[in-house]
Amino acid sequence: MIKRDTKALLTYFGFILPGLVIYLFIVAYPIFYSAWLSITDFNPNRGGAWNFVGFLQYRTMFADPYFWHALKNNMIVVAVSVFGQIPIGFALAYILFRRLVRAGSFYQSMVFFPHFLSTIVIGTMWKRLFQADGPVARLIQILSGDPSAQFDLMLRENTVMYPIGFALIWMYTGLYMIIFLANLQKIDTNMIEAAKIDGAAEGQIFFRVIVPLLSGTILVSMTLAIAGSLRGFDLIFSMTTQGLQRMNAEVLPIFMYRTAFQDYRNEMRFAYGAAISNIIVVISVALIVLSNYIGRKLRGGEEY
Amino acid sequence: MKKAAAILAVLLLLSAAVAFARGQGGETGAPTKVVVKTMAYGDQSNPEGVNWLRIVDYFEKDNPNIDIDFELLYDEAYHQKVVARLAAGEVPHLAYMGADARWGLPWQEAGQQWDHRPYLDPDYYDLSLIPEMGPNGEIWEIPLGTSNITTVLFMNENLTRSFGFSAPKTYGDMAAMAPKAKAQGLDVVSIDGADGWAWGSCLMSGVIARISGDPHWVSKAVEGQHKFTDRAFVDSLAFLETMVEDGVIYSKSVLVDYGANLSNYSNEKALFMVQGQWIAGSIENPDVANNTLMMAWPELPGEKPATAGSVAAAIQVGYGLTKAGGSDPAVRDAAFTFLQTFYSHEETTQRLRDGAIVAPILKHFKVPDDMPSLVKQKVVLAQSAMNTDVIDAFLSGAPNDALNAGMQKIVSGQATAREIAAEVESLLRK
């Protein structure tokens, strides 16, 4: 009996070992390395010498106004994702699921279409749309009758996240729509029929039947949205030009990049960059834990 | 048993054959390839990248014992990869690099700058045209050409004359063009103001030298001899406001990127364009290119005579060996063999024709007679105008970012010159 258990255990380890090794080297090692790096002054370009500096990088970061600016923008991106992409994606999926529009397949393809494009292509496209005398500016000029009118929201710190938020919704809503649609199709239609027989209106079916049934999917989507929002770099980077626009729209990953890869004056820039990365992970985990907690409270342990 | 013995015999025979073959290879001296790991600059769609691919292709055919193992990247991607490779210890043998704050600092920090002086053939390169780059006169890279002028004013001569104007002698002459140009829906000066660096490299670098009267004001300020809050710099920043108020530059410029700027000028939507000399070869409309006058900015209000007519210019970037490449004799020889081809008279002529460089650094170089007018003008400008500091050749990181974004704020009416000057000074001295 013991011999058989050992054999089973060895087989088990044989199966998980390759994955475990890859995970340890590719995922776990960089996390621990980054944590270590952030409490040192190590700069690989200056040889192997390093000193333990405690939480110096974190103190510097918390005193840096660029950090708070980037964090604020990141929170806006999270809000746009959680309260914009997910509800819109859910609503669109519901419309398609309940066949409330004709040519559902066409709309489904169109909404999901941005996912087939490279993020850099999408970012460049939006940049072109927003440039001086570009299509959006021309539209404003026609509507306002002012031939010199420009679309200048990207130039101002307090308005730059509107066009970026719009682009984010345009790009990612399709993903959530597909996730919700796939899960809606798994719902037992008898429950909806039963609700109808009981006299439930469309709104009541949605809020009293569909939403509770998909609460798990909503939570998973929120987790994806939060994690994606905090590590988001490519779309905002490619939508903005170097200088004022990018500074206005700077989020934590871009702040990390600018610090670690461009600020040659800062000898501890790699360690500082690692501290910023670690904070992104911490905030991400905290927000996901919070969303799960809220989700559990709202669901009240109800299972379907 | 017989089967096992047969297999063993076959294996032994194979091993012997392999060992024999190895011995034969060594005896016949089959050439081993020298690999030169290179970081090249360009992409598949610009002359730099296209020419690189073409040169490497024929060089490797002519030199089968040398392998130019390159990575071709452009713009932001290149700079990012340099930092990443150096940090990871994957140091190339040969790379596109410079000697200033933007193109040289990563190599300097990693201790990978290598002095080329002992290996530069004085009969091939005109060493008087290659500036000193290190504290002891070291040459860290072989520049593609002579100084890289960044503050060139390109004037569409025909278009300007059609408005009844001629080449401006003073800034006031340019301001006088604004009402007529605006009435026709044209810009006086087009600038890629959406790119923060353009304000610093292509405009402010020239303005600060003119207004301070010191060609090296920027480098001295970075060293601490001047402050960015000094009157000369604040006045220079305030000059941006003046340009917008006078209609010489429009506030919408901060939404125009590099490509749109070039397109505006090529499509005759502006009388002038401000950019670096390198853009000359990219003016695609031949009518405009052939009627373009390249000049230094005219006399600015408040400029000092000491720097009148000056242009900002940086040491031209080029290819250089790293310490990793220079310390290996085989790699070093292979790399210099390649560089001899890369910097050949034919390739340098092509670079001139493409508008990528101002003037060659080669000895006995004869500029062909059929060179475009813009190329000839560049040489004249380089020879006649005083060269001054380019800001981002000395200022980097957060202070430079703040300055670039700050100039865009000034032009779009979101900040004053004094506020931006104070922010830059504070970040620099942190």
Q: Give the CATH number of the domain where residue A194 resides.
A: 1.10.3720.10
| Angle between the N-to-C axes of helices A86-97 and A161-184, in degrees from 0 to 180, rounded to the nearest 10 | 40
- Interface touch A243/B252, C-beta < 8 Å: no
State in words which class domain B34-147+316-364 has. alpha beta
**Domain assignment present for A21:** no
Contact A264, A272 (CB under 8 A): no
Number of domains in chain A: 1
Question: Smallest Cα–Cα separation from A259: which of A119, A66, A9, A29?
Answer: A66
pLDDT along chain A (304 residues), means of 10: 77 92 91 95 85 95 95 95 94 90 89 90 93 92 91 93 94 94 90 89 87 87 88 90 94 94 88 95 90 76 48
Number of other CB atoms surrounding residue B52 within 10 Å = 23
Tell me which chain A residues have a C-beta less than 8 angstroms from the C-beta of B105: 264
Nearest to A131 among B83, B255, B414 (CB): B255
B99-122 burial, b if ≥16 CB within 10 A, otherwise e? bbbbbbbbbbbbebbbbbeebbee
Give whichever of A15-19, A149-153, B5-9, B419-423 has the largest mean pLDDT. Answer: B419-423
pTM of the model: 0.84
Number of other CB atoms surrounding residue A70 within 10 Å = 23
Say which CATH superfamily domain B148-314+386-429 falls into: Periplasmic binding protein-like II (3.40.190.10)
- Res. B248 pLDDT band, cuts 50 70 90: very high
Which domain, by its residues, includes A220?
A: 62-299
Tell me what percent of the residues of chain B surpass a pLDDT of 90: 73
Average pLDDT, chain B: 90
**What is the value of ipTM here, to two decimals?**
0.82
Tell me which chain B residues have a C-beta less than 8 angstroms from the C-beta of A156: 414
- Interface touch A243/B412, C-beta < 8 Å: no
**Domain assignment present for A29:** no
Say if residue B390's pLDDT is above 90: yes
What pLDDT, on the 0 to 100 scale, is given for residue A286?
92
Say if residue B197's pLDDT is above 90: yes
Say if residue B8's pLDDT is above 60: no
Contact B312, B387 (CB under 8 A): yes
Higher pLDDT, B335 or A229: B335
**Domain assignment present for A80:** yes
What pLDDT, on the 0 to 100 scale, is given for residue B242?
96
Higher pLDDT, A195 or B354: A195
Tell me which chain B residues have a C-beta less than 8 angstroms from the C-beta of A258: 401
Within chain B, all domains assigned CATH 3.40.190.10 are found at 34-147+316-364, 148-314+386-429
For A129, nearest residue in chain B (alpha carbons): B255
What pLDDT, on the 0 to 100 scale, is given for residue A300?
53
Q: Which residues contact B365 (CB under 8 A, 6 or more apart)?
A: B126, B345, B348
What pLDDT, on the 0 to 100 scale, is given for residue B9?
60
- The CA distance from A46 to A237, in Å, is 29
**Domain assignment present for A284:** yes
What pLDDT, on the 0 to 100 scale, is given for residue B26?
44
> What is residue B188's three-state secondary structure?
strand
Say if residue B93's pLDDT is above 50: yes
Across B315-344, average pLDDT: 96
Query: Which phi-psi region, left, alpha or beta, contains residue A42 (left: φ > 0; alpha: ψ -120 to 50)?
Result: beta
Tell me which chain B residues have a C-beta less than 8 angstroms from the C-beta of A134: 255
Say if residue B25's pLDDT is above 50: no
- Res. B430 pLDDT band, cuts 50 70 90: confident
Model confidence over B49-82: pLDDT tens digits?
999 999 999 999 999 999 999 999 998 889 999 9
- Interface touch A44/B88, C-beta < 8 Å: yes
For the ranges A76-80, B266-270, B275-279, the lowest mean pLDDT is seen at: B275-279
